[in-house]
Amino acid sequence: MREIVFDTETTGLSFAAGDRVVEIGCVELVNQCETGEVFHVYFNPQRPMPPEAQAVHGLSDAFLRDKPLFHEQVEALLDFIGESPMVAHNAGFDFAFLNGELQRCGRPSVAMSRMVDTLQIARQKLPGAKHTLDALCSRFGVDRSRRVLHGALLDAQLLAQVYVELSGGRQIGLGLLEETVVETIDFAEPIVVAIRPPRVFAASAEELARHAAFVAGLKEPLWASG
Q: Decide: helix, strand or coil at residue 9.
A: strand
Is the predicted pLDDT of residue 123 greater than 60, yes or no?
A: yes
> What is the spatial distance between Cα 43 and Cα 76, in angstroms, rounded to a whole number?
13
- Which pLDDT does position 174 carry in this prediction? 45
* Cβ pair 21, 14 in contact under 8 A: no
At 198, is the pLDDT very low, low, confident or very high (cuts 50, 70, 90)?
A: low
Residue 99 has pLDDT above 60, yes or no: yes
* 196 within domain boundaries: no
Q: How far is CA 53 from CA 20, 107, 112, 215, in A?
A: 11, 27, 26, 102
- Would the pLDDT of 37 be above 70? yes
Position 165 pLDDT exceeds 80: yes
Q: Residue 23 CB: number of other CB atoms within 10 A? A: 22
> Pseudo-torsion of CA 75, 133, 150, 30, nearest 10°?
-30
107 Cβ neighbours under 8 A, 6+ residues apart = 74, 78
CATH number of the domain enclosing 55: 3.30.420.10
Across 98-122, average pLDDT: 98
Task: State the catalytic residues.
Answer: 150
Reduced to 3 states, what is the DSSP secondary structure of residue 114? helix
pLDDT tens per residue, range 201-224? 677 788 888 878 887 888 877 766
Domain that holds residue 131: 2-179
Q: What is the DSSP letter of 188?
A: S
| 167 in a structural domain | yes
15 in a structural domain: yes
49 CA to centre of own chain: 34
**How many domains does the structure of the chain reveal?**
1
Write the DSSP string, 20-55. Answer: -EEEEEEEEEETTEEEEEEEEEE---SSPPPHHHHH
With respect to residue 68, please indicate whether it lies within any of the assigned structural domains.
yes
Residue 95 scores a pLDDT above 60: yes
